[in-house]
Amino acid sequence: MYKKLGILFWIVVLALFALCTRIAYLNVAKGDNYSIKVLEQQSFTSKTIPYKRGDILDRNGNVLATSVKVYNLVIDSKVILSNKKYLEPTVNVLTRYFDLNDLRTAIKERKNNSYWVAKKNLEYKDIQKFESYLNYEYADTKEEETTVQNTKGIWFEKKYKRMYPYNDLACSLLGFANSDNSATIGIESSYNSFLQGT
């Protein structure tokens, strides 16, 4: 009995030793190749969540400065060019809803680019029909459904844009906020820590 257990013990030890030796060999000989393969399969998204700058009102509650939500059309050329069946449907759908000149060439020029802002400061009404189309609301035929399914690499990035409803009224007093949500003059600057948002 003890002899059989001893033999089994040494077989397990030898198997573990052989396994460790093989792992060490693969790590030294081909470790870089496997690391690259693993990193290629991993994906991550990094998003800055937009924050709304506070409003400035007069004593009667009239809005003198406010922030409105706008959208940037972002195109991921890498995804679109990853499969040849994605390019044509994506270009056709985008050019139907947005004024984008020579889009096919622009995508091919940015073939390694995963983040390209093609249009800035779109309002919700500008993107509503496009989003409805992608949700099959306007897809009437099987061909349109296929087009929608093959439309890839597009999303809308939310941002806030500073608006002054009364244009230049009290502009010296109010000041202004930059696109990066910082202010240098006027009330916008004086109360920046309160208005800035998180």
Q: What is the DSSP string of 40-91?
A: HH------PPP-PPPPEE-TT--EEEEEEEEEEEEE-HHHHTTSHHHHHHHH
Looking only at the bridges linking them, the beta strands covering 63-75 and 116-122 are antiparallel
* Higher-pLDDT residue of 59, 149: 59
Give the pLDDT of residue 18.
94
Give the pLDDT of residue 138.
54
Residue-wise pLDDT tens digits, 36-92: 777 666 666 666 677 788 888 989 999 988 888 899 988 888 888 888 888 888 888
Give the pLDDT of residue 46.
65
Q: Given a cut of 90, is residue 137 above it in pLDDT? A: no
Which pTM was predicted? 0.62
Q: Tell me the pLDDT of the chain averaged across its residues.
A: 82
pLDDT-based confidence at residue 115 (cuts at 50, 70, 90): confident
Give the pLDDT of residue 96.
82
